[in-house]
Amino acid sequence: DVVTLLRGLGVCFLAGLALQALVGGLHKHGLLAMIIVGTLCLLLDGVDGRVARARSEASAFGARFDVETDAALLVVLSVAVAALDLAGWWVLAIPAMRYGYVAASLVVPALRAPLPYRYSGKVIAVVQAVALLAALTSALTRGEHWVPIMILLAALASLCWSFGRSVIWQLRQS
């Protein structure tokens, strides 16, 4: 949980930078800091579970803390990408998918059924953060404006496929 807490602090720092981008723009150094801290948060995401398992400290709370920290990271990065006009506000659909799924599970009990472990789900979750960080990086490099949009659209499509597959599986199980 300590590693996840460090990620959470990084996400809070990123939220401040995203807010700055939203209200007044973000200077090049702020954007670079966002990319570096976001990348560190993403790298630590691959470490926290391993550390907990290696120390026999894995828990349901730790797993939930990890998921919520991941979700917050995607919200903050999506807001920054949209605020910096690297993609439209549609990019908020990336973090909204998870919250929409949770909201739907309150109404549709079948969506509360535990899902089988799928490595593809982990990969697709990481792809979302990588795509958002790539879009932010494109602002530094002044690359073609359509490139980050295509990357983000591909990431969103993979996320829709992943969520769709999970929902269909859960509905069939009920």
pLDDT tens-digit map of 95-114: 999 999 999 999 999 999 99
Let me know: does 77 contact 38? Beta carbons within 8 Å: yes
Task: Give residue-wise pLDDT tens across range 7-30.
Answer: 999 999 999 999 999 998 888 999
Q: What integer is the mean pLDDT of 69-92?
A: 95
Rg (CA), the chain: 17
Task: Give residue-wise pLDDT tens across range 115-173.
Answer: 998 989 889 999 999 999 999 999 888 777 888 999 999 999 999 999 999 999 999 99
pLDDT at 46 over 90: no
- The letter for the amino acid at 33 is A
What pLDDT sits at residue 82?
95
What pLDDT sits at residue 31?
95
Q: What integer is the mean pLDDT of 54-62?
A: 78
pLDDT at 74 over 80: yes
Task: Please name the residue ranges forming H helices in the chain.
Answer: 2-24, 28-54, 60-83, 93-107, 119-141, 146-173
Task: DSSP letter for 113, please.
Answer: S
Task: DSSP letter for 88, please.
Answer: -
Query: What gap in Å lies between CA 62 and CA 106, rounded to an integer?
Result: 22
What pLDDT sits at residue 47?
83
- The letter for the amino acid at 120 is S
What pLDDT sits at residue 22?
92
- The 10 Å CB-count burial string (b at 16+, else e) for 118-146 is eeebeebbebbbebbbbbbbbbeeeeeee
Query: What gap in Å lies between CA 49 and CA 24, rounded to an integer?
Result: 37
Residue with the bigger pLDDT between 63 and 27: it is 27
Residue with the bigger pLDDT between 115 and 48: it is 115
pLDDT at 49 over 80: no
Query: What gap in Å lies between CA 24 and CA 86, rounded to an integer?
Result: 15
